[in-house]
Amino acid sequence: MMRQERVIELISNFFEERVIIAKAYVDELHLEINKNEILSLAVKLRDWGFPLIQLTATDERSIQGQFRLFYTFANDEEKFLIVVRVCVAEVEPSFPSIMNEVPAAHWYEREIRDLFGLDPIGHLDKRRLAVHEDWPEGLYPLRKDSNLDIEVPRTNGQFSYDRVEGEGVIQVPVGPIHAGIIEPGHFRFSAVGDTVLNLEARFFYTHRGIEKLAEGKTPLAVLPIVERICGACSFSHTTAYCQALEKLSGTEISTRVKDIRTVVLELERLYNHVGDVGNICAGIGFAFGTMHGARLREGLMQLNEIVFGSRFLRGINTPGGVRRDISIQNINLILVTLEKLEQEFKELVEIMFDTNSYMDRVQTTGILWNRTARDLHAVGPVARAAGVDRDVRRDHPYAAYDRVSFKVPVYEQGDVLARVKVRVAETYESINIIRQILLSMPTGELTQQLGREMIPYNYAVGMTESPRGENVHFIMIGKDKTIYRYMVRSASYVNWPIIPLIVSEDIIPDFPLINKSFELCYSCLDR
């Protein structure tokens, strides 16, 4: 086991006085290191079992005369984070890439290049990511001096795709506009017949500037923006956001607030998982499963509206507590609804798994290997279906998760069927968690003011396990308790890059099925 004290000792011995160590919070250890040492430290942390879970940048030229990078690594055994900060001078706007040793850094580094103009030296793919090729050179949206109120002039840049050459190889473009009510994303297949040889994916078509909008606003003013990062994971995002602020301010929320948040988080997981199990059926034309999944999901969303006033569970969280309580009448309604759901969902799953045409399509399709999942830090049901035994609720407990009993289902096969099985098992576990909470909820205050410890330019990280997996929110507070820097790393952000890697040797008609089994969000990227 790697306790914080042991990590400090190891790092101090290895780097001598080249690392500044400041223990900031119970579950966060903050370090500072020279940028030329970051690769060595990242390799050490990797070898000690600390995956990289987030990397972001700040423009602190007006207060520190420089940029800074923040690398967040997680220790699941001892349940704490290490946040490593690195200074980057304006006169030398570059930093060493760590992606060759820590592949999970690949998108983060490209995004920092696009949004801050800091060059990751040694990165193997410096194509645009968060902004497209028609974005003008020298305009970096997340620098403090960027004025995005003006219209941005466009250029004629073209995105370059990796092509597979050879006899019989064809290019099949799909999107970015799709035949459904979904957001834009472009997929370009290289195939021989139906067999996929290579897939290139292109995202970030409708970047909304959420992180830029947050700057200079109060935490409460930013909350409605956070609720709209993602429709399906709204409460998970606001919980991570509130937890980071509560950590920054030294605010202790009541046990009742923790219980209410846990119930809502699991209701959010339920309506997503039940709907996703049905949506996966749509990928193979199994209309019976699709319709029943949609019906069960609709019942849960109606329950959300009755109990909390919002189908998408908005307007509940607030920094320092919650704005909606759960009455005795609604506790009974939730319990009755879950009992009915459990029985009907079980019947649906039995029919699915007893249908040969369904099983033929989901078994051995879209296999994600364990090594790939670990290298790229896959999260959520996608990772657990590939043998990664990780769940933030258990490994970095928050809300009431340290007081309830639940299992984390893990499968080894890594295919579509395994991803379905994880969601099915987690559905039953969510019902179990909600029952435990509702049968023994204490009284307590619902809201309180954030504490007074919000020192300017302090920072903290909040994490939740959304239905899609681990969400990570980084917040740096500014003057007058406003937001100086806010970075959202959603579950979709780390899972989207994996899809192009797992479709080789599958067939093009299976891509919608594979894609639905990941059930990712474009909106979470276009933040």
Q: 321: exposed, middle or buried (C-beta count within 10 Å: 0-12, 13-18, 19+)?
A: buried
The secondary structure of 171-205 as a DSSP string is EEEE-SS-SSS----EEEEEEETTEEEEEEEE--S
In a domain, 435, yes or no: yes
- Nearest residue to 18 via CA among 74, 86, 73: 86
In a domain, 217, yes or no: yes
Evaluate whether residue 494 is within a structural domain.
yes
| 66-78 tens-digit pLDDT | 999 999 999 888 8
Same domain? 345 vs 230:
yes
Confidence bin at 1 (pLDDT 50/70/90): low
Q: Which amino acid is at 39?
A: L
- Residue 23's pLDDT band (cuts 50, 70, 90): low
Indicate the pLDDT class of residue 103, thresholds 50, 70 and 90.
very high
In a domain, 183, yes or no: no
From 170, 143, 173, 139, select the one nearest 159 (Cα to Cα).
173
CA 233 to CA 313: how far, in whole Å?
A: 9
CATH of the domain at 500: 1.10.645.10
Mean pLDDT throughout 36-64?
93
**pLDDT class of 149 with cuts at 50, 70, 90:** confident
- Do 117 and 224 belong together in one domain? no
- How far is C-alpha 277 from the geometric centre of its chain's CA atoms? 20
Question: Tens digits of per-residue pLDDT, 191-206?
Answer: 999 999 999 999 999 8
Amino acid sitting at position 238: T
Q: Are 111 and 130 in contact (CB under 8 A)?
A: yes
Query: In this prediction, what percent of the chain has a pLDDT beyond 70?
Result: 98
The greatest distance separating any two alpha carbons of the chain, rounded to the nearest whole angstrom, comes to 71
Domain count, the chain: 2
Is 30 inside any structural domain? yes
Residues 222 and 77 in one domain: no
Asked if residue 88 lies in contact with residue 58, where contact means CB atoms within 8 angstroms, the answer is: no
The H or E element containing residue 80 is: strand 80-89
- The answer to which of 176-180, 514-518, 523-527 has the lowest mean pLDDT is 176-180
Please provide the average confidence, as pLDDT, over all residues in the chain: 93
Residue 103, preceding bond cis, omega within 30 degrees?
no
357 & 496 share domain: yes
CATH of the domain at 52: 3.30.460.80
Q: Using a pLDDT cut of 90, give the percent of the chain over it.
A: 77
Same domain, 419 and 310: yes
The arithmetic mean of pLDDT across residues 27-35, rounded, is 90
**Looking at the structure, do residues 378 and 242 belong to the same domain, yes or no?**
yes
State mean pLDDT over 411-426: 97
Residues 301-328 pLDDT 10s? 999 999 999 999 999 999 999 999 999 9
Which residues pair with residue 87 across a beta bridge?
68
Domain extent at residue 236: 210-518
* Residue 13 one-letter amino acid: N
Which of these, 463, 464, 470, lies nearest to 491 by C-alpha position?
470
Is there a single domain that holds both residue 215 and residue 117? no
Nearest of 473, 454, 478, 455 to residue 463 by alpha carbon: 473
Q: Which of 103, 121, 139 is the last residue of a domain?
A: 121
Q: Quick one: 108 and 217 in the same domain?
A: no
Q: Residue 6: is its pLDDT beyond 90?
A: no
Tokens of 360: 């033929």
- Closest CA relative to residue 64, chosen from 527, 459, 473, 453: 459
In a domain, 162, yes or no: no
Same domain, 241 and 108: no
131 located within any domain: no
CA–CA distance, 126 with 225 (Å, rounded to integer)? 30
Strands 483-489 and 94-96: unpaired
One domain for residues 336 and 215: yes
Helix orientation angle between 416-438 and 511-518, rounded to the nearest 10 degrees: 20
Would you say residue 168 lies in a domain?
no
- The verdict on 403 and 283 lying in the same domain is yes
- Same-domain pairing of 345 and 473: yes
At which of 100, 121, 142 does a domain end?
121
Look at residues 121, 151, 178 and tell me which one is the last residue of a structural domain.
Answer: 121
